[in-house]
Structure 1
Amino acid sequence: MKRIAVDGLPGDPLAAAALFHGQWLPQAEDALAGGDDAVLVLPSADHTHREWRRAIVVALARKHAPRRINMIAGEGASLAAIESYLATAPGVTGQYLEA
């Protein structure tokens, strides 16, 4: 599973979504189009970011099925545990999980 570490997102949810679409979405689509499953790893954010993050990962999963893509947010051991689980869970795709 290809890991795409997303960083540098602004605190404002609209600005963060716009930057994600311009900078990180092409990388995710390239990985999926190339045949890789992927996990997008983002820093934690408050609840105002939840909906745009969910919408992106759901749309990517639908567009690129049967490739798998998930998005996780957080830091530390709990983030690593979620990432490890997703690597061995072949039926899980299109999910946004917060550590």
Structure 2
Amino acid sequence: MKRIVVDGLPDDPLAAAGMFHQHWLAHIEATLGQGEDVMLQLPAADHTHREWRCAIVAGLARKHAPVRVNLVAGEGAALAACESYLAAAPGVTGQYLEV
């Protein structure tokens, strides 16, 4: 499973979604297109970011199935634990997890 760390997003949810689509989406889709499972790592954000994050990971999972993609928001040791779990859980895809 490849971890892609998405950083540099603005605090405003609309601006963050726009920047994600403009600067990160092509790279992520290229990785998924190679058949590699992906865990997207984003920084923690408040509830105003939840909808666009859920939508993007669900859309990517549908488009690139059976390759798996999940989005994890947070920091610290919980990220490594999440990555370990997701790597060993072949049925989990399209999920937005906050740790």
Question: What is the SS of the residue equivalent to 1:67?
Answer: coil
Query: Quick one: which amino acid aligns to residue 47 of structure 1?
Result: H
Deviations 1:29-49 (A, max 9, x none): 001111111110000000000
| Structure-1 separation of matches of 2:14 and 2:95 | 20
- Give the structure-2-normalised TM-score: 0.97
Deviation at 1:16, TM superposition (A): 0.1
Residue 47, structure 1, aligned to residue 47, structure 2:
yes
Which shows bigger deviation, 78-87 or 53-62? 78-87
**In percent, how many aligned pairs have the same letter?**
71
Residue 27, structure 1, aligned to residue 24, structure 2:
no
Deviations 1:51-86 (A, max 9, x none): 100000000000001000000000111122111110
| Structure-2 separation of matches of 1:14 and 1:27 | 20
Structure 1 gaps of 5+ residues are: none
Query: Quick one: which amino acid aligns to residue 30 of structure 1?
Result: A
Counterpart of 2:78? 78
Give runs of ≥4 in structure 1 deviating > 4 Å.
Answer: none
- The count of corresponding residues between Structure 1 and Structure 2 is 99
Deviation at 1:26, TM superposition (A): 0.8
